[in-house]
Amino acid sequence: MKLLLVYPPLTRALPSILPGEVEAGRGCFPPLGILYLAAAVKGLPGIELSAIDAPTQELTAEQIADRVLRERIDVVGITILSFHLLDAIELAQKIKQKSPQTLIVAGGPHPHIYPVETLGLGMFDFAALGEGEEIFPAFLSGLARGEQEPVVPGIISRSKRADADLTFSNLPDLDRLPFPERTLLPVEKYFSVLSPLRPSTTAISSRGCPYRCIFCDRPHLGKKFRARSASNVVAEMEACAALGIREIIFYDDNFTTSRERALEIAELILERRLKVAWDIRARVGDLKPLDYHLLRRAGLQRIHFGVESGDPELLESLQKKITIAQAREAFQAANKAGIETLAYFMLGLPGENLDTLNRTLALGRELKPDYIHFSLLMLFPATPVYALALEKGIVQRDLWREFAKNPQPDFQPPIWEEKLGREELVSALHRAYREFYLRPGYIFSRLARTRSWAGFKTQTRMGWSMLGLKK
């Protein structure tokens, strides 16, 4: 059986919450989802496995469909985010036009939230819920036995979507999973715009987040925190280094949910004398000031902190359970340890006005992060804040479900428009980037800290991107 796993082209993606200049300069990262699936099915007897990262490999839907026909691919798995649904549909349609007998399985966050609607579109044969590392191999094994529609909990067929069981379960022991099959894709092409070290890759050391932030949009991973052991994480880092990868960007919701595990990872890196840079997303308040020095000695280059707002009341309304005082302490401690920092802030929160916006921008400058990432609060499907927007009439209809049923290219993802309208918020977003990145003091400090020609080029690219922002 020939299996092709695909991250689709991104030529028809929905409008981003970020300014185009910022979106275009983020870097290029491997699609871990299909690489985890690839590793899970690799050992199945009779499977011929291949993978495509269409944006990175610059492949069109037409080219991929031609390959499916030419190589007589039996099953295609497509990972789908709601923002990329139109591209996934176009790819599936072209595959069905050229190779009608090929089965197409939709996976990822969008079909997890909207499985019935996804299958109702007509071009996908099956939809997978939750995490696929166990259910997808079971599904393929059923096909290999000659079953037309294998009965596997968590995988739904188009013909039985009306009365399908939509329950799913998450994997309890992540250490049992093989590492992502990175060699299926061009390792050398992946990089982060924040780092001069290339190539880079991404990794996930835990799944699920125990916190209840109202804007969180990863429902397929659940809310139970499941962590890989420190030894398992460091073993994957060693495997990445053996491939020539120079920096690993951890995409956990929060790498420091377990402070003890984070410190154990750092100690193991030092014990094994592993020379690879790494980058994490963390929650302010999780670490103690001295912890940052240990992490830095172990090669940690950068921490991304979600601060979200400079207004205490708005921050509390997000149910993030952090304080501005904790943010100040975390950034100060990281800076003292020599770790670069990136601050995430969101504009357009429930209750946002011009005064709260200005407090957020002021805190962004006060914290002195090396980088800052502003975005508008996007009302993602299946999040508490989207449900609240529907309840309060901020959003009049269930726009995301309507889009899932009948995707249109002019769909505009909803934001929280109450005291400030979309035009005002977009203008504030552009102003926030300009006011932070175009300060003379910031520009000179960044160039002074640049230690290499590659780093200088990175900073220059980012600078030109900021200059392109509209007033």
Q: Which residue has the tokens 């880092």?
A: 237
Closest CA relative to residue 366, chosen from 318, 312, 323, 327: 327
Which pLDDT value is given to residue 443? 82
Residue 88: both structure tokens together: 């996934």
Residues 6+ apart with CB under 8 A from 71: 2, 4, 50
Torsion of CA 107, 35, 306, 377, to 10 degrees: -30
- Inter-residue contact 102 to 75 (CB < 8 Å): yes
**How would you write the pLDDT of the chain (471 residues) with one tens digit per residue?**
999 999 999 999 998 766 655 665 578 999 999 999 999 999 899 999 999 999 999 999 999 999 999 999 999 999 999 999 999 999 999 999 999 999 999 999 999 999 999 999 999 999 999 999 999 999 999 999 999 999 999 999 999 987 888 888 889 999 999 999 999 999 999 999 999 999 999 999 999 988 889 998 777 777 789 999 999 999 999 999 999 999 999 999 999 999 999 999 999 999 999 999 999 999 999 999 999 999 999 999 999 999 999 999 999 999 999 999 999 999 999 999 999 999 999 999 999 999 999 999 999 999 999 999 999 999 999 999 999 999 999 999 999 999 999 999 999 999 999 999 999 999 999 999 999 999 888 888 877 776 555 555 555 555 555 445 554
How many Cβ atoms are within 10 Å of 55's Cβ, its own excluded?
17
CA 284 centroid distance within chain:
20
Could you please state the CATH topology (level 3) that the domain comprising 2-163 is classified under: Rossmann fold (3.40.50)
Q: Which amino acid is at 391?
A: E
How many Cβ atoms are within 10 Å of 2's Cβ, its own excluded?
16
Which pLDDT value is given to residue 126? 98
Entry field: residues in the chain = 471
- Inter-residue contact 64 to 91 (CB < 8 Å): yes
- Inter-residue contact 38 to 51 (CB < 8 Å): yes
> CA 198 to CA 187: how far, in whole Å?
10
| Ordered strands of the 340-347 beta sheet | 200-203, 247-250, 277-282, 300-308, 340-347, 371-376
> CA 234 to CA 262: how far, in whole Å?
11
- Inter-residue contact 132 to 109 (CB < 8 Å): no
How many Cβ atoms are within 10 Å of 97's Cβ, its own excluded?
12
CA 379 centroid distance within chain:
16
Return the HEC string of 253-269: CCCCCCHHHHHHHHHHH
User: Which stretch of DSSP H or E encloses residue 435?
Assistant: helix 422-437
Phi (first) and psi of residue 104, to 5 degrees: -120, 125
> CA 403 to CA 396: how far, in whole Å?
14
Reduced to 3 states (helix: H, G, I; strand: E, B; else coil), residue 192 is: strand
> CA 18 to CA 357: how far, in whole Å?
17
- Exposed / middle / buried, residue 46 (Cβ in 10 Å: 0-12, 13-18, 19+): exposed
Confirm whether pTM is higher than 0.85: yes
Which pLDDT value is given to residue 417? 96
Phi (first) and psi of residue 68, to 5 degrees: -60, -45
Which pLDDT value is given to residue 210? 87
- Exposed / middle / buried, residue 387 (Cβ in 10 Å: 0-12, 13-18, 19+): middle
Which pLDDT value is given to residue 462? 55
Taking the domains of the chain in order of start, what are their residue ranges?
2-163, 190-378+415-467
Residues 6+ apart with CB under 8 A from 255: 205, 206, 262, 280, 281, 282
The DSSP line for 102-153 is: SEEEEESHHHHHSHHHHHHTSS-SEEE-S--TTHHHHHHHHHHTT-SS---T
Phi (first) and psi of residue 415, to 5 degrees: -125, 170
Homologous superfamily of 190-378+415-467 in CATH? Aldolase class I (3.20.20.70)
Number of H helices, E strands in the chain: 19, 16
Phi (first) and psi of residue 34, to 5 degrees: -75, -25
Which pLDDT value is given to residue 446? 77
